[in-house]
Amino acid sequence: MRQDVIRVQQALSQKIIGKDHQLKLAITCLLANGHLLIEDLPGMGKTTLSHALSKVFGLHYARIQFTSDLLPSDMLGVNIFHSHEQNEEKRFTFRHGPIFSQVVLADELNRASPKTQSALLEAMEERQVSIDGVTHPLPAPFFVIATQNPSYQSGTYPLPESQLDRFFMRISLGYPAWEAEKAMLMQRDASAPLAQIIDETNLIEMQREVSAIHTSDAIFDYILRLVSESRESNDYPNPLSPRASRALLQGAKAWAYVSNREYVTPEDVQSVFVAITAHRLTLSSHQVANGQQSQAFDGEKLSQKLLDSVDPLAA
């Protein structure tokens, strides 16, 4: 299965050219059983990446286009009343919404109202949704990929800190390099579908193997020093929560797995640190200067500062 991960990376790199680090982070997020937030301008390949991931892992895919008039029931589903049914227990049937998929693309999440945004919270955290007092489990594996437009664009609602914290990672693809974009333009079969490489059974087994990756006490201490520094220093207005420390541990394990190692090193923690913590450390909306700096930039700057301030070899 480790060799299959390499094949997945190679297949994805044919669709998203010149973004190997971001692709490895996306695979790491899936293997860590987390959810992924992609913040970028339109047309950067966010949707292409989400669809390609579902194809190579053989997962059922659904796309939800978030708009200002989208209702929670449009996403979660609704109970349908059958007036002709004589059996009281069968008068209502639940019609599943697109959230009942293995890979869910929440496209332009921050264009929906806060009420609709919050409907994702239970699904992402508990892997279930509650409709009219009845709990409906979601399929496994369950992977949410949300895209977010920059906050300075019109018609966007900022995601609250509680929602941002539910995302395991946040990445940004950014503009491609000259040679990468030239290679993209020269592609003749850019729209050709990707073949399935890993099935859902193997994916679940890989997620179990990630959890079993060996982690030494020194790695635990390194993660705790990073988290403690964010809480004790006045430089970080939004310190890292216990959920963030658990995400760092699981992310480092998944990065080690993708790197074909059975153990975690400090470099694994450092490789995933910015992607896992930047959206958690980011300044809140009232702390950001009006339109002068994006929240993504501030969060990455703070995250890198925190990483540089802690020595991985300290006792």
Tens of pLDDT, residue by residue over 97-137, are 999 999 999 999 988 888 888 889 899 999 999 888 889 99
Domain residues for 236? 213-310
Between CA 295 and CA 282 the distance in angstroms is 6
> Is 315 part of any domain?
no
Asked whether residue 296 is assigned to any structural domain, the reply reads yes
Looking at the whole model, is its pTM more than 0.95? no
Sequence-distant (6+) residues with CB within 8 A of 123 are 76, 99, 129, 138, 142, 144
Q: Is residue 205 part of a domain?
A: no
User: For residue 119, what are its two tokens?
Assistant: 């409907």
**Backbone phi, psi, residue 296, to 5°:** -60, -45
CA angle 67, 51, 190 (to 5 degrees): 115
Please state the length of the chain. 315
CATH code for the domain in which residue 219 is found: 1.10.8.80
91 shares a domain with 38: yes
* Same domain assignment for residues 225 and 187: no
Residue 207 lies in a domain: no
Compute the mean pLDDT over every residue in the chain, rounded to the nearest whole number.
Answer: 88
DSSP 44: S
pLDDT at 292: 41
Is the per-residue pLDDT at 156 higher than 80?
no
* Number of structural domains found in the chain: 2
